[in-house]
Structure 1
Amino acid sequence: MHIVEYLCREARRITGLSLSDLRDREYWAESRQGRWRMLVEMLGLEEYLDGGSREAPEYEVT
C-alpha cells in the first residue's frame, strides 16, 4: 500500500466517524460550546478569542 492510499483510507474512516456521537439535536446544542472550545484550541486561537485587547503590529506595508 502506498502512503496516498493509506492517507485516503484513514481520511474516509475519520470522516465516517466524525459525527457518530451526535445522537440528536438536543445533544448537539448541549455539546456545541465544548466542541467550539476544542476547535479553537486545536487551531491555536485561544489568545485571539479571549476578549482581551491587543496592540496593532508594528510594521509598514510598502
Structure 2
Amino acid sequence: MKDMRTQAEKLRTDAAECALIRDLATDTKKRDLFTRLADHLNALAAEVERAIEQSEGRDPATQ
C-alpha cells in the first residue's frame, strides 16, 4: 500500500511540475501540451488514490 501512496504522490508532483512549465511557457502549443499532461497525471493520481481507498475497504464515492 505504501508503494501505491508513493506513486500517487509522485504523479501529483509530476502534475504540479507540468503545470509550472505550462505557466512559464510562451508558446501556445507547449502550453496546451503541458496542460493536457498535468490533467492526465492528476487523473492517474486520482485513480491510484481511489484504488487505495477501495483496497482499504472505504468507498471513495461516499466521502
**What is the TM-score normalised by the length of structure 2?**
0.38
Larger helix proportion, structure 1 or 2? 2
**What is the TM-score normalised by the length of structure 1?**
0.38
Higher RCO (CA < 8 A, seq sep 6+): 2
